[in-house]
Amino acid sequence: MKYDAHQMNQLVKKHPELQKELKSLMKDMGLERHLAVKALYHSQVSDGGTYQTQYQDLNK
């Protein structure tokens, strides 16, 4: 599975939990949005993560 910024942003918009996690990453780690979204992808989506199925469904 390949990271796609547009697809990941769509997933974040659909899930309030991911929005909270994104804001937390940006605030606590001082990350810019695009880096925080990528970190969120690696922690919540890739390699069988919680949101992997929903992420893949956006590609259909």
Mean pLDDT for the chain overall? 96
d(CA 55, CA 8): 7
Tens-place pLDDT, residues 15-36: 999 999 999 999 999 999 999 9
The answer to whether residue 47 scores a pLDDT higher than 80 is yes
Confidence class of residue 3 from pLDDT cuts 50, 70 and 90?
very high
pLDDT of 18 reads 98
Confidence class of residue 51 from pLDDT cuts 50, 70 and 90?
very high
> Would you kindly state where each structural domain of the chain is located, as residue ranges?
5-57
Across 41-54, average pLDDT: 95
